Amino acid sequence: MKRAYSVFALIAALLLADSIQARTLIHAGALINPDSTTLREVTIIVDDGQISAVENGFTHPGGDDQLIDLSELTVLPGLMDMHVHFTSAFSRETYLERFQLNPADLALRAAGAAEKTLLAGFTTVRDLGDRFNVTVALRKAIDQGHVRGPRIYTAAKSLGTTGGHADPTNGWRMDLRGDPGPKQGVVNGVEDAAKAVRQRYKDGADLIKITATGGVLSVAKSGQNPQFTQAEIEAVVSTAKDYDFHVAAHAHGAEGMKRAVRAGVRSIEHGTFMDQETMRLMKRHGTFYVPTISAGDWVAEQAKVDGFFPDIVRPKAAAIGPQIKATFSAARAAGVKIAFGTDSGVSAHGDNAKEFALMVEGGMTPTEALRSATLTAAQLLDVENMLGSIEAGKQADIIAVAGDPTSDITVLENIQFVMKEGVIYQQ
């Protein structure tokens, strides 16, 4: 009887030991949470993909614990980019490639872009417009561990109007254009607006992206004219609320921005010709601003190259690009809420952190720039309870750099360590 009892006890002990997951202990030389003071020599304890504790000093690991020694590095929360396009990689060939690339081609490109972004320290992104719903599939593949990449919140296909910035047939030959509608993301009227949002829900999107004004890179004359009526944007936002979606609005011109803000969009993207009235509206409504200075810089440089852009695009790129940084400075001074975003896919994937230096040049302190890519971005996504800082109970999204980004923001361009939900991707 004693022998049987001891065997059962041994089995139970083995089962219990197997059920207890080993912890990961990270010894951080410095820990920066952008809304608090920098801590020195702390231990971050990670358990089952979450942060279970942050302790002063270097805690000695137990027998089964994994120790990661980052005692010579500065540790930060995983960064968040609120405006990327994983199915894009802009080049001279981009306009022709719309007729050449199949969904599988774009999916493979997107997977590579996602991995580059993760290894650059960005553990969460919003993808604000793709083709063939590729980023819906990519999000699933990343979540299931088939592909390495950041946590994706995707808008799938952006919504536009006939001839507008997100009309997929802009610039095409007449016999190829057809008449795309809500299924393809093209809206004309209130009913179309509701149907287009519902289609994105059916397609598996996480949020809605509209192109409230003209754009720089679309093959169309204006880069800033309003392209949705007030009623259409209100219908998009109202329907989106039914599906727990927020709405991001691409906008360069002031009138289109004002319509979008009044309708209740969550964020304005680019905001190039934002005026003081728009800034006041955004502050009143709590609207976030995602400036994408990198994209403005990039298109302005390419506009200097003969033949890089079509003739109809080149003057827009030359005019709009340089203006974004000035608008960013004015919006920051006015107290508009600014979240980090690059428009990567226009500028190169993996170069996301170069946006920080541009933000600091535009008047932000390094700490403010860091906050825009952590806590403020988490607030935009309404996930600040799980992301945006290194605290007990949050997801273990953790990066590390050599140096102090609060004094030299460019050290974020060289990431030494990346962890997402407790899994190490770069060390």
Question: For the segment 339-377, what is each residue's pLDDT rounded down to a tens digit?
Answer: 999 999 999 999 999 999 999 999 999 999 999 999 999
pLDDT of residue 21: 59
Average pLDDT estimate for 207-234:
93
Question: Has residue 14 got a pLDDT over 80?
Answer: no
pLDDT tens for each residue of 57-112: 999 998 899 999 999 999 999 999 999 999 999 888 988 888 899 999 999 999 99
The overall average pLDDT reported for the chain is 93
Question: Has residue 269 got a pLDDT over 50?
Answer: yes
Average pLDDT estimate for 288-295:
97
pLDDT band at residue 176, thresholds of 50, 70 and 90?
confident
E strands, 15-141, are 24-31, 39-47, 50-56, 66-77, 79-84, 122-127
Start and end residues for every CATH 3.20.20.140 domain found in the chain = 79-381
pLDDT of residue 283: 98
Q: How far apart are CA 269 and CA 284, in angstroms?
A: 17
Amino acid code (one letter) for 197 = V
Residue 143 makes CB contacts below 8 A (sequence gap 6+) with: none
pLDDT of residue 7: 44
Output the pTM of the full model. 0.93
pLDDT of residue 193: 98
Average pLDDT estimate for 387-397:
98
pLDDT of residue 13: 41
Cβ atoms of residues 345 and 88 within 8 Å: yes
Question: Has residue 174 got a pLDDT over 90?
Answer: no
pLDDT of residue 217: 86
Chain centroid to CA 74: 23
Query: Sign (positive/negative) of CA torsion 320, 154, 109, 76?
Result: positive
pLDDT of residue 188: 97
pLDDT of residue 136: 98
pLDDT of residue 17: 39
pLDDT band at residue 15, thresholds of 50, 70 and 90?
very low
Better-scored residue on pLDDT, 62 or 382: 382
Question: Has residue 19 got a pLDDT over 50?
Answer: no
Instruction: End-to-end CA distance of the chain: give it in Å, rounded.
Output: 52
Pairing of strands 66-77, 267-270: unpaired
Q: Residues of 136-151 as b/e, b for ≥16 C-beta within 10 angstroms?
A: bbbbebbeeeebbbbb
- 2-78+388-426: CATH topology is Urease, subunit C; domain 1 (2.30.40)
Cβ atoms of residues 246 and 240 within 8 Å: yes
pLDDT band at residue 208, thresholds of 50, 70 and 90?
very high
Q: Extract the tokens encoding 157.
A: 């296909």
Q: In what order do the strands lie in the sheet with 79-84?
A: 79-84, 122-127, 151-154
Backbone angles phi, psi at 254, to 5 degrees: -65, -40
Give the lowest-confidence range in 85-99, 146-160, 286-300, 410-424.
Answer: 85-99
Give the lowest-confidence range in 45-54, 93-102, 113-122.
Answer: 93-102
Task: Answer left, alpha or beta for residue 112, where phi above 0 means left and psi between -120 and 50 means alpha.
Answer: alpha
Of 123, 200, 208, 174, the C-alpha closest to 388 is 123
pLDDT of residue 200: 98
Better-scored residue on pLDDT, 59 or 221: 59
Q: How far apart are CA 409 and CA 173, in angstroms?
A: 47
Q: How far apart are CA 396 and CA 252, in angstroms?
A: 36
pLDDT of residue 158: 98
pLDDT of residue 222: 82
> Which top CATH class is 79-381?
alpha beta
Pairing of strands 24-31, 66-77: parallel
Chain centroid to CA 154: 9
Q: Extract the tokens encoding 131.
A: 């083709």
Average pLDDT estimate for 108-135:
98
pLDDT of residue 223: 80
Q: Extract the tokens encoding 213.
A: 């004004």
Start and end residues for every CATH 2.30.40.10 domain found in the chain = 2-78+388-426
Residue 127: CB atoms within 10 Å: 32
Q: Extract the tokens encoding 351.
A: 């170069």
37: exposed, middle or buried (Cβ count in 10 Å: 0-12, 13-18, 19+) = exposed
pLDDT of residue 18: 40
Cβ atoms of residues 26 and 370 within 8 Å: no
Give the lowest-confidence range in 92-96, 212-216, 415-419.
Answer: 92-96
Cβ atoms of residues 216 and 317 within 8 Å: yes
Q: How far apart are CA 180 and CA 186, in angstroms?
A: 6
